[in-house]
Structure 1
């Protein structure tokens, strides 16, 4: 199923703004933000790409975004997700939990990050 929307999950305002600018350079898809399970629920469909922060708000009642990825991937027809983290070990844990390869906030200008985003949108 083609991706029709991008959801930024658990990012602060500053990071949401930076990620939004990065995404808008590479796609014209709508971008939404979610800071709680209630805000995220309407976007939990296979046509969504979730960019999940490693450190998520307490409202999720989970220790990290990696656990959120694992939880979402236990559901039927989960959305695609990738972890936003600079830590390679966290990226590997997220992939093991069912995420696509992600990237860190400090790498938004790297060609590798651009490719990971555009690949996830395919």
Structure 2
């Protein structure tokens, strides 16, 4: 069964790399969103198995962890698992503190541990 992923705030090269990685290991349909408003609209109308948010959104450099908090506090958003895309463990820990699953880094796409971390959501 195909899983739905919303990729939020990635620049073009990172979006391509993430898409290649996910499609190599999982059967997924990936939607993309650039800014908070578009993200919230998509989350109100579509159920996603995983929402992968960049630490800094490429379009406006807003904070991905703040967006996670906004999503968590928006009542009509469909339930979803949030995950931060960042190479920095300290930001991953901040994301977990606001209710996200521990995420992945852009430098970890070749790691079997990364595939294993995503397995519960996309497998």
Where on the TM-score scale, by shorter chain, does this alignment land: which range? 0.7 to 0.9
**Would you say 1:96 and 2:103 are equivalent positions?**
no
Kindly report which structure 2 residues correspond to 1:16-55, keeping only aligned pairs within 5 A, or say none: 16-44=15-43, 47-48=47-48, 49-55=50-56
Kindly report which structure 2 residues correspond to 1:1-122, keeping only aligned pairs within 5 A, or say none: 4-44=3-43, 47-48=47-48, 49-57=50-58, 59=60, 62=62, 64-76=63-75, 77-121=78-122
Distance 1:3 1:101, change over 3 A: farther
Cα separation, 2, equivalents of 1:65 and 1:26: 25
Please, which runs of 5 or more residues in structure 2 have no aligned partner? none
Cα separation, 2, equivalents of 1:59 and 1:114: 29
Aligned length: 119
- 4+ long deviations beyond 6 Å: none
Cα separation, 1, equivalents of 2:27 and 2:41: 20
- Aligned-residue offset at 1:30: 0.9
Please, which runs of 5 or more residues in structure 1 have no aligned partner? none
Cα separation, 2, equivalents of 1:3 and 1:36: 25
1:78-115 Cα shifts (integer Å, max 9, x gaps): 42110000111100000011111101000011111111
Q: TM-score, normalised by structure 2?
A: 0.84
Q: Is the 8 A contact 1:83 1:103 kept in 2?
A: yes
Q: TM-score, normalised by structure 1?
A: 0.84
